[in-house]
Each structure stands twice: as structure tokens, then as C-alpha cells.
Chain A
Amino acid sequence: MDNRYRPVIGLEIHVQLNTKTKAFCDCSAEVFDLEPNSSICPVCTGQPGALPVPSHEMFELGIKIASALNCHINLYSRFDRKNYFYPDLPKGYQITQFFHPLSERGWLEVDGKKIRITRIHLEEDAGKLLHSGDNITKSDYSLVDMNRCGVPLAEIVTEPDIESPEQARIFMEKLRTILRYIGVSTGDMEKGAMRCDANISVVDTITGKQSNKVEVKNMNSFKFVEKALEYEFDRIVQLMENGQEVERETRGWNLTTKSTVSMRSKEESHDYRYFPEPDIPPVVLDSEYVEKIKNSLPELPDDRLRRFVNDYKLSEKDAWTLVEDKKIADFFEEVVKQTKEPKETANWFLTELFRMISEHGEDKIHINPTHFVELFQLMRDGKISRNMAKDIFQESALSGKMPSEIVKEKGLEQVDDTKLIEDIAKKVIEAHPKEVEGFKNGKEGLFGFFVGQVMKETKGKANPKTVNEILNKFLRGV
């Protein structure tokens, strides 16, 4: 079945742009978690007589996204009105770009495949309804919070090039990485800073028949994008196998039932009566201005990945894990510059540092490049073992103390005194005649027991290499 039916998926993604002001007024656009209706003005609440004035910054960020996604940028763009009634839409229309979007025809590579971008346009966000009950139908009343009204959005529309629910998730994750790299959005799906609707249809590869398109909404995490589309794919395939019609409709992902539920059929779909926004003249961009913004973009994740693989000789998987978070990648490069050991540094990042970040949270970690330099040096000099280094790293990371300081403080310096270890080893052997007997009779595993005992006597500070050598000499006579 899996091979016979193939999903065809296209995405529509809304990205909240982190501009200082809203799209068409001077209100602050940082509205998450604010007291309701505290970042509003006559313009964004649709007072009679108020007029929208487009922000420059919104275009700057829009151009950055369009450039990062390899889009053609239209120097002439225009705003339009999308008309519909809803209490969270104070003007009764949304200002968007329907006829002449900011940019078109781009692509983003996922799994070696170019997913084509149809268009990226700018628009304003709507407000939020707060229901008195659990949901709208069970509420006596609803309140409107207009803080989000007018926050600028970039809407990114892809061609139906995505071939699996998993690929849709990866696309979204990669998009978020890019958005964060270029600093245009937090990309937090959970906080609504990035929202995704999907269109899915299914092709029967044997008959060549393609189902109707279904739109899926309410997928507010990367995981749910994949889960909802998997569910929807299975649902459509089931219908096709049963010879049933796939209705053209909009369905919403329901978190509790883990299924999609019909929201409205095509017949109920709106006529938005798009027409040119007469309050805003067409926007004509200067090509030099566009070039300037393009040139201001930082190295993009894909380019950085290639560089990490080529220059640092990292595997593609490890490299992407480091590249994915720009802050981590920047820090990694800073550290490598000083340690000059990319592979070793990457190992410490991928295991120890990541574990610590996930255990303690990023803001509790105070490690800096010199910590790495010192730690590596201590190991190279044989002053600490790798295991000790892990403990020291942990403490350095949390306290910010230098590794050498910690070693001194705790008297952790590795014991490499052959005479001392020999004395201890002799004592251990004398104290355990049975085990010596057993070892000599072929119980090779007991070697580890002696090593352990010596380490215990030295409180773990003995250089394991030296211990091994001495015990070999005493027990095996080599």
C-alpha cells in the first residue's frame, strides 16, 4: 500500500516578523504574553478615520526571507484587502498582498530535493479571542485581545513538491533554522510565531488518479505537522481504497483525539473580495536597496554545513547538529579557533555540552573557549583522565571556573608517580590472594578488579595507563 499511494503536499507558512513596530502603525510588535490590549492604537484597532502606513522594516525582513529562499524579488509590489468578518479582525479586512506579492519563484533544498516556493508576501496578523469557557461554543462570552492585530507576517507558499509528512516536518525545521539565522523571527511554532497550514492530496500510482486536495490546519508544532499529515494521508488512502470520494475541505488537527476533523467544506469557503488597498500607494523598491539587504545576510545554514564538512572533516549529520542552532554554531567556531581541534571539540559539543544544555538550560551554562583549551591541554599532558575531564567540564560549565583551578582545588591532579602506584598495587595484590589465584587460573576478567582496587585506593586519581602497565608487570610478568 505504501508504495502504491503517494502523498502530494504543499505548505502555507505564516512567519511573524520580529520588527520593532507593527506593520502599519508605531505600536510595538513584541506582543507575546503582554497584558491584553496594551499594545494598540487607533490604526491597529480600526478606529474610524485611522489609516495604515506600511513600515520599512517589514520590507527589509521580507526581502531577507525572500533572498534566503532564493526568490525573485518584485521591485513593484502592492497591498490588497482581504475582506471577511470576524471579531479579531477590527477593520473587517486584512491588509495583505494578493495581486502583486513581494516575491515569487524560489526554493529550499530538503533531503537533496529542491522544494519550490511559489510566493512570499507580506501581511498583517489578526488579534486573538479569549473565550470565557473551554471553547467558543461552550462560552457565554468572548473577549477580544487586539495586541496581535497588525503584527507583520510573511506568508510563504510552497508548490506541492513535498513527498512525505516527514519531509514536511523537515522542511519546517529547516525553514525555522534559516529564519533564526537571518534574524527575522523566533520561529517558535508553539508560541505561534510560525504557523503552518498544509494542502495534501494523494496519487494512486497504479491508476494515476489523484484525490481532491484537503487543507489541514491547527498544526502548532513540528511534530504535529508530521502527525497530522500522516493521519490525513492514511485517511485519504482509506477512502480511495474503498472507492469513496475525497471531499475538498478544510480539516483541523485535533490534539486530544489525534485526528483531523472537518472544519468547512469547499461550498462554505469565503469569497474574500480581494481588491487593491486604496489607502496605501504601490511600493516601489530601489534595486540598490534590495542588493544592500541581500548582501547583509549572514552565511546561510546550508553553506555553513558544507564548510563544516569540508574544513572540519565532520560527518554531515554531526555538522548539521552543530549548524542547526546558530548560537551553538557560532560558539563552536569560536572554540575551534582556539583549540585548533575541530573533531575533538565537536565530540565534546555533541555529547557533553548538549547533554548539559538539555539538563540545565542554556542560560545556566557559563563555558567559554579558554575552558576547552585548558581542558584539552590537561588531558594531553596526562594530568587528568578523560573521565575526570568530564566531571571537570561539568563543573566549569556550571560555575565558569577554569579547569586548572578546579583540579587544584579538589586535588584532582592525576597520580602518575610510578613508585607510589607500585606500592599500592603490591598492597592490593597481597590483600586479595583468592583473586590472584583465580586470575592465574585464567579468569582474565579479574584484571579489571585489580585496576578498580588501585583506582579506589588512589581515589580515582591514578593515571589509568600507568596502573595498567604496573598491574601487567606484577600479574602477568610482562
Chain B
Amino acid sequence: MLTNEAFKTMTLKDAMTYEDKSALVERSVEIIAKEDKNIRAFISVNKSPNIGIPIGIKDNMNVKGVETTCASKILKGYVAPFDATVVQKLRENGFSFVGKTNLDEFAMGASTEYSAYGPTRNPHDLERVAGGSSGGSAAAVASGEVIAALGSDTGGSIRQPASFCGVVGFKPTYGLVSRYGLVAFASSLDQIGPITKTVEDSAILMNIIAGKDEMDSTTVDRKIDFTEFIGKQFPKMKVAVATQSFGEGVEDGVKQKVREFITLLENFGHEVAMVDIDDLKYAVATYYIIAPSEASTNLSRFDGVKYGLRVSSDSLRDSYEKTRGEGFGDEVKRRILIGTFTLSAAYYDAYFEKAQKVRRKIANRLSEVFEKYDLIITPTSPIVAFKIGSVSDPLVYYMMDIFTIPANLAGLPAISIPFGKVDNLPVGIQIMGPRFSDAKVLGFADSIERQLR
């Protein structure tokens, strides 16, 4: 008999060989019913899930026949007519979709506070945020409600909540996982990835969800075995630690954990060097032009004509304005406004075009670092989970993405692994590698994780 406690700590690896899959689903549903009143990781829970391995799906990915809300009022009542490619793959591999997890509206945010369904709470401290935007997925895994979850990462939305909730979050190289069926936020940055209890579980999930998809022309045809280096003795690596990890805005506790991590790496025989990646200081500004630009047009389809919320009116224009005015939350509106401005003919060159250039510059600088080093280390977030409602200045909020954004701008693989706690709150370390080095990044993270056990 599988107990709730045993289920909560069960890894995906173990769940895959666990024979009584219906017991897994029963435990998951039971724990969600009991605990999600407090955590609020789920927007919707499947009342009669199929039998399989319980997995949480961020509610910006389509599960056929189930509502996709993107945590927005504007999509209320929208039932997805097709499975996202990742969902279809999970279905084929015997997973059970027990529920859709909470997020910042349209994945725009870093705290899951900007959800039309209210904030998700951090299982380590219910007064604090779970991070975001995949806060629901991270909290659901951290609390043991599901075995694993999928998130989407546009500027850190998998890694940062994983870090806040003390679980593993992996953002793959751009193009390895199909975005078909993921409601687009910023198409050139979005990437789906796993949130799991162990690095190995992330690698296992990657083997299932990755692959060229003819429905997504930005996917690439690369055969990667993501578990290739899992459990293997890892050779000595050259690791760069960005000096920015100790820069302004990084909490002392977090800096201390980075120092400890460096010592740990050195003890394991890896070669560690401090590297000043000065261009990182442009990453946030660049991101907050490119992402809103793309978002402003990706979200144009929510106009009340075809699906979701429609506020009728005498004139078409008025109906558009009222539908979008009532349907979108403040943070989404803020980004649509920014993006509409940065793409307007008069400002295109000064903002969008310039940001594209800086994006290439940052990517080139990171490539340079990877010519000398195998991996780059930073904290995942400059701070630990903060109290719900405590951050109101958008600029302060945006600066939290400083370490995670570069991997999106350059399309690189990056993982956040838990590395102890500060004041009882989890800290995550980010490991970033060159494009398509996903198996190596996972393998390296796995080797550290095993040493820590």
C-alpha cells in the first residue's frame, strides 16, 4: 500500500517502474484535495483522471478537452481543441493529467501573483510566493502533489520558481522541445521544460518530450540522449562563475551559498574561475523590449471574436477595447503597451532593432566564455522567495530575472538545482552550458546532486 508520504517523495524514475499506476493517481488526487486549499498550485483539477503517472501541466499548455486559461480572465471557458505536442508525447508514455497548474497571467511574471486565480503559495512558507511564472508547477512538485510537472521558461519561468520551491527546473536549448500547443508569450524565447524532484527525473522527462516536431518549424532535428551522463563519474570541468553573482542586488545569503558552491566544486576537483560577464547588465533591458514586443502581437488574437471572453458593444472597436480591457490583468497590459510602443514604426529602430543587436552581442559574449569554459555558474535568483504582495515596483520585479534571462536570449540550456537554504528558504544554483550541451548540463548537475545526498 502506497502511503501519501511515500508518494510525496517518489521520483519519476521510481514511478515509471511502479506497477500500480492507479494507486499513484489516487494518492496524487488525494493529496491535491487535502493540501491544495493552502498551496493553490492548481487552477483546475481533473475529476476523473486517466491512469498513469500524475504530472502537472502549466495552464498555458493545451490538454485536449480541458480548459486552457493561462491564468487570464480573457480565456475563461476556452476548451483546448488539441493536445500540445508535449502533452501528446506524455499521453503516449503513460502519464496522467491530474490538473493544470497556476501561473502568472500568460506567463508574465516571476511570482505567480499575477494570476486571475490568485497567487500560488510556497510550500516552504505559505506566506511567500512560489516564484513564477511556473509557480504552480514548482509548488505542486515541491509539495509532492504530483510526481513531476511541465513549465515554460521565457526569462526564467521554470528555473526561478524551481529555485524558490527547492526543486529542479531545466530549460532546454531553444528548439529542442516543440512549442506547439504552448500559448505563446514571446515565441523566440519560450521553451517548455521539466520541473522535477531530481536532475535524473528532468533528464528522463526530456527524453520523452524533446524532438523535432513538424508542427513547430523552430524545432531542430538533434538526437540527444538527455540521460547519457546521468549517474556517471563526471570528468574534471572548467567552470566559470560570473562575478555578477556577487553584484549589487544579490542577497548576502545567496552570495554565501554561491561561495559554498564554488568550494564544493573545487573539492570535487573542478577548475573554477571568476569571469566578469559585463554584458549581462544589458540582459534585463534587452529582454524587456524583446519579450513585450513579441507578446504584444502574440496576444492580439485575444479579441473576443473567436473564443474566451467577449464584452459586446455597439461598435467593433469598443468591443475590442472592453474585451481586452476587462480580460487582461495589469501586468499583461503593461507589457502589451511596452511592446506596442517598441514595435511602432517611429521607435522600431531605437528599441526593437537595437535590442535584437544587443541580444546577439550577449549571445556572442556567452559563446566567447564557452570557448574557454565548459559551464557558467550563477545563482538562479538574486533573492530567495519573498512575501506575497511585498514587491510592487515593476523595475525591482524585473531585475530578479537578471541571471535567468541570458539563457533565453542566447537559446542556451540552463538548470536550477536546489543548494541548501537561507533562513529556511531554498536557494537554487544555475548551471548554464553552450547550445545543445543539454545532456552535459544535466549530467554535471546530477553529479553534484548525488554528491550532496
B307: A residues at CB distance < 8 A: 47-48
Q: Is the CB of B75 within 8 A of A48?
A: yes
A279 within 8 A of B: yes
A331 within 8 A of B: no
Q: Is the CB of B348 within 8 A of A51?
A: no
Q: Is the CB of A50 within 8 A of B297?
A: no
A80-109 contact mask (Cβ, 8 Å, vs B): 1 or 0: 010101010011110000000000000000
B340: A residues at CB distance < 8 A: 273
B305 within 8 A of A: yes
A81: B residues at CB distance < 8 A: 297
A53 within 8 A of B: yes
B300: A residues at CB distance < 8 A: 83, 85, 91-93
B62 within 8 A of A: yes
Q: Is the CB of B217 within 8 A of A53?
A: yes
A42 within 8 A of B: yes
- Give the distance in Å from the alpha carbon of A164 to the alpha carbon of B235 in the complex: 77
Closest CB in chain A relative to B396 CB, distance in Å: 28
Q: Is the CB of A85 within 8 A of B297?
A: no
8 Å CB contacts to B: which residues of A242-283?
271-275, 278-281
Q: Is the CB of A90 within 8 A of B306?
A: yes
B281-325 contact mask (Cβ, 8 Å, vs A): 1 or 0: 000000000000110110111110111000000001000100000
Q: Is the CB of B81 within 8 A of A278?
A: no
A442 within 8 A of B: no
- Give the distance in Å from the alpha carbon of A396 to the alpha carbon of B217 in the complex: 56
Select which of B70, B180, B320 is within 8 A of A50 by beta carbon: B180
A208: B residues at CB distance < 8 A: none
Q: Is the CB of A83 within 8 A of B306?
A: no
B182: A residues at CB distance < 8 A: 49
Closest CB in chain B relative to A461 CB, distance in Å: 72
B306: A residues at CB distance < 8 A: 45-46, 90, 144
Q: Is the CB of A275 within 8 A of B78?
A: no
Given A49-B68, A53-B217, do A85 and B348 touch, yes or no (CB 8 Å)?
no
Closest CB in chain A relative to B97 CB, distance in Å: 15
A54 within 8 A of B: yes
Closest CB in chain B relative to A68 CB, distance in Å: 28
Select which of B68, B84, B217, B303 is within 8 A of A281 by beta carbon: B217
Given A46-B301, A48-B75, do A279 and B61 touch, yes or no (CB 8 Å)?
no
- Give the distance in Å from the alpha carbon of A174 to the alpha carbon of B340 in the complex: 42
B294: A residues at CB distance < 8 A: 278
B217: A residues at CB distance < 8 A: 51-54, 279-281
Q: Is the CB of B305 within 8 A of A144?
A: yes
Q: Is the CB of B343 within 8 A of A273?
A: yes
A52-93 contact mask (Cβ, 8 Å, vs B): 1 or 0: 111000000000000000000000000001010101001111
Select which of A47, A92, A272, A274 is within 8 A of B82 by beta carbon: A47
B183 within 8 A of A: yes
Closest CB in chain B relative to A140 CB, distance in Å: 11
B180: A residues at CB distance < 8 A: 49-51
Q: Is the CB of B345 within 8 A of A49?
A: no
Closest CB in chain B relative to A118 CB, distance in Å: 20
- Most chain A beta-carbon contacts within 10 A, residue among B78, B300, B307: B300
Contact residues on A (Cβ < 8 Å of other chain), bracket: 20 to 34
Q: Is the CB of A49 within 8 A of B184?
A: yes
Select which of A48, A90, A274, A281 is within 8 A of B62 by beta carbon: A48
Closest CB in chain A relative to B307 CB, distance in Å: 8
8 Å CB contacts to A: which residues of B83-108?
84
A274: B residues at CB distance < 8 A: 343, 345, 348
A144: B residues at CB distance < 8 A: 305-306
B215 within 8 A of A: yes
CB-nearest residue of chain B to A92: B300
8 Å CB contacts to A: which residues of B191-241?
214-218
Given A49-B180, A51-B217, A92-B297, do A275 and B84 touch, yes or no (CB 8 Å)?
no
Q: Is the CB of A53 within 8 A of B215?
A: yes
8 Å CB contacts to A: which residues of B152-198?
179-184, 186-188
Q: Is the CB of A92 within 8 A of B301?
A: yes
A272: B residues at CB distance < 8 A: 345
A171-198 contact mask (Cβ, 8 Å, vs B): 1 or 0: 0000000000000000000000000000
8 Å CB contacts to A: which residues of B327-356?
340, 343-346, 348, 352
Given A93-B300, A271-B344, A275-B297, do A281 and B218 touch, yes or no (CB 8 Å)?
yes
A280: B residues at CB distance < 8 A: 217-218
B80 within 8 A of A: yes
Select which of A48, A52, A53, A85 is within 8 A of B68 by beta carbon: A48
CB-nearest residue of chain B to A283: B217
Closest CB in chain A relative to B162 CB, distance in Å: 23
Q: Is the CB of B352 within 8 A of A48?
A: no
Q: Is the CB of A275 within 8 A of B293?
A: yes
Q: Is the CB of A91 within 8 A of B301?
A: yes
- Give the distance in Å from the alpha carbon of A54 to the alpha carbon of B216 in the complex: 10
- Give the distance in Å from the alpha carbon of A91 to the alpha carbon of B188 in the complex: 17
B70: A residues at CB distance < 8 A: 48
- Give the distance in Å from the alpha carbon of A87 to the alpha carbon of B305 in the complex: 6
Q: Is the CB of B297 within 8 A of A273?
A: yes
A48: B residues at CB distance < 8 A: 62, 68, 70, 75, 78, 80, 183, 301-302, 307
A45: B residues at CB distance < 8 A: 306
Other than A93-B297, A278-B186, give 13 A-B pairs with Cβ distance below 8 A. A45-B306, A49-B62, A49-B84, A83-B343, A87-B305, A90-B301, A92-B301, A271-B344, A273-B297, A273-B345, A273-B348, A274-B345, A279-B218
30 A–B contact pairs at CB < 8 A?
A42-B81, A42-B82, A45-B306, A46-B306, A47-B80, A47-B81, A48-B70, A48-B183, A48-B301, A48-B302, A49-B182, A50-B180, A51-B179, A51-B180, A51-B217, A51-B218, A53-B215, A53-B216, A83-B297, A85-B300, A87-B305, A87-B316, A92-B301, A274-B343, A275-B293, A275-B343, A278-B186, A279-B184, A279-B187, A279-B216
B binding-site residues for A, Cβ under 8 Å: 61-62, 68, 70, 75, 78, 80-82, 84, 179-184, 186-188, 214-218, 293-294, 296-297, 299-303, 305-307, 316, 320, 340, 343-346, 348, 352
9 smallest CB-CB distances across A and B, nearest first, come from A92-B300, A278-B187, A278-B188, A273-B343, A49-B181, A48-B183, A46-B301, A87-B305, A53-B217
